[in-house]
């Protein structure tokens, strides 16, 4: 999102990330990327890849379980080539022909089936709830408490939650308690402000307090910046790092 509309190539985007003072980056889909070229670019710039999305086969559909697992296996292979230890997974859109209980069971069973693949590879899948009020109408999973209940039932240290502070502010608020009360099950954070999904500091979320709280509770993983900047992307990255110095 940061560089949408800038016209910068991926190498130029990563060079901007490095110039701004960061040592890691993430992206959404991997299938269209030249992984060998990307791995070489990471080595040249000294950047780590913090996370990217697995293939978009929905967890809610039990009829597509094998397709989901095949896509996950391919994504794990891509992660290993790029030195990435975190994959982002989504439940998918709510299916009209299956009741909610069946779809929830499919999400849990799919993640249980995925867990041995992830554990063997040393890769963690983070399940991301998305808000359905503004951006993702019809998405099956929106609440953090339901996401935490799912990963607890799966009971693997390689299946956790991606806690997107923007999505959860839209959905439920109460960010500090909702995140820190289950922090051992959080594998990644995403950051943007609300309203507008712009950089932290442009909306209603007090990021100074939120980030201090998760640091105090012991979170030392990555926080991905998934926002649309109101000004220049590289300038916003510099400003964020100077203001918040996140984990």
This prediction's pTM: 0.97
Q: Are 167 and 132 in contact (CB under 8 A)?
A: no
Annotated catalytic residue within 26, 37, 105, 128: 128
- pLDDT tens per residue, range 189-241: 999 999 999 999 999 999 999 999 999 999 999 999 999 999 999 999 999 99
Transcribe 115-160 into DSSP letters: HHHHHHHT-EEEE----TTTT-TTBS---HHHHHHHHHHHT-TTEE
Residue 94 contacts by C-beta under 8 Å, 6 or more apart in sequence? Answer: 60, 100, 103, 138, 139, 140
pLDDT digits (tens, 9 = 90+) for 133-143: 999 999 999 99
Domain 10-244 classified CATH 1.10.3210.10? no
Q: Which of 26, 199, 226, 234 is catalytic?
A: 226
Q: Is 234 a catalytic residue?
A: no
Domain residues of the chain, as ranges?
10-244
Note the pLDDT tens digit of each residue in 55-99: 999 999 999 999 999 999 999 999 999 999 999 999 999 999 999
Is 80 exceeded by the pLDDT of residue 246? no
Annotation says 119 is catalytic: no
Rounded distance, CA 40 to CA 200, Å?
31
The tens digit of pLDDT for each residue in 4-42 reads: 989 999 999 999 999 999 999 999 999 999 999 999 999
């Amino acid at each position: 999102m940061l560089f949408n509309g800038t016209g910068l190539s991926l190498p130029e985007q990563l060079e901007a990330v490095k110039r701004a003072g960061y040592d890691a980056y993430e992206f959404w889909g991997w299938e269209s990327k030249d992984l060998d070229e990307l791995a070489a670019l990471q080595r040249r710039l000294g950047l780590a890849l913090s996370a990217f999305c697995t293939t978009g086969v929905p967890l809610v559909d039990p009829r597509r379980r094998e397709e989901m697992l095949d896509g996950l296996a391919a994504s794990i292979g891509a992660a290993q080539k790029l030195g990435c230890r975190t994959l982002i997974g989504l439940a998918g859109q709510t299916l009209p022909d299956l009741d909610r209980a069946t779809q929830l069971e499919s999400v849990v069973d799919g993640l249980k089936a995925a867990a041995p693949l992830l554990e063997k590879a040393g890769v963690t899948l983070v399940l991301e709830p998305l808000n359905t009020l503004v951006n993702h109408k019809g998405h099956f999973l929106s609440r953090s408490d339901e996401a935490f209940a799912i990963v607890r039932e799966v009971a693997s240290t390689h299946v956790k939650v991606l806690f997107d502070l923007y999505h959860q502010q839209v959905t439920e608020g109460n960010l500090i308690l909702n995140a820190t009360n289950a922090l051992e099950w959080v594998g990644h954070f995403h950051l943007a402000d609300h309203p507008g999904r712009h950089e932290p500091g442009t909306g209603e979320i007090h990021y100074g307090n939120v980030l201090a709280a998760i640091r105090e509770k012991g979170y030392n993983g990555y926080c991905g910046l998934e926002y649309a900047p109101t000004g220049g992307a590289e300038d916003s990255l510099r400003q964020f790092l100077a203001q918040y110095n996140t984990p």
